[in-house]
Amino acid sequence: MKFEHQIAIEAARNKVWAVLSDFPQAASLMPDVSEVRELEDGSYEGTMRVRVGPIGLNLTGTIEIEQDETQGRWNMRVKARDKRVGGGVQASIEITLIERDEDKSELSVKTDVQFIGRLGDLGQPLIKRKADSTIQKFAENLRLAVSGGKHQA
């Protein structure tokens, strides 16, 4: 399943880059993410609690990140599972940061997600609504973070 989102941010590119380059800080902007820590190999491990329709999930997994500041791009590979439900996700995420003006930036987020096990049975419309809602909350938190405000968990 593929998703694309555009996020407009009223801040200079370098300010947005500074927030997003600190991955534990950036991960804290995602709703329901917890326990993010860097592993010895430079990847990260974390947990995200998600409710999709009638099912509550505790997705625990790893994230590998490649970043290129000159291109304003992050490539991430995510693998996470919920042991209780018996399902998981694998995702490739490409984020591009574009400077639109001196104090305006835009994030382009392209995600390709494969749902494994019972998660694949939930149905695409339900999953898409949850993904859109999560990105919207992340965007609100990012806007607050780059403006020096406090974001919501």
Q: Which residues contact 149 (CB under 8 A, 6 or more apart)?
A: none
* Number of domains making up the chain: 1
Any domain includes 93: yes
Q: Strands 87-101 and 33-38: what pairing?
A: unpaired
End-to-end CA distance of the chain: 26
Residue-level pLDDT at 115:
81
pLDDT tens-digit map of 9-61: 999 999 999 999 999 999 999 988 988 999 999 999 999 988 776 677 889 99
Average pLDDT, the chain: 88
By the 8 A CB rule, do 110 and 120 touch?
Answer: no
Cβ(72)–Cβ(97) below 8 Å: yes
Query: What are 23's two structure tokens?
Result: 């991955």
**Encoded tokens for 119:** 């998660």
Task: Please give the residue range of the domain that contains residue 62.
Answer: 2-146
And the tokens for 13?
A: 């590119």
Tell how far CA 116 is from the center of its chain.
Answer: 19
Is 151 within a domain? no
CATH code, domain with 22: 3.30.530.20
Domain for residue 152, yes or no?
A: no
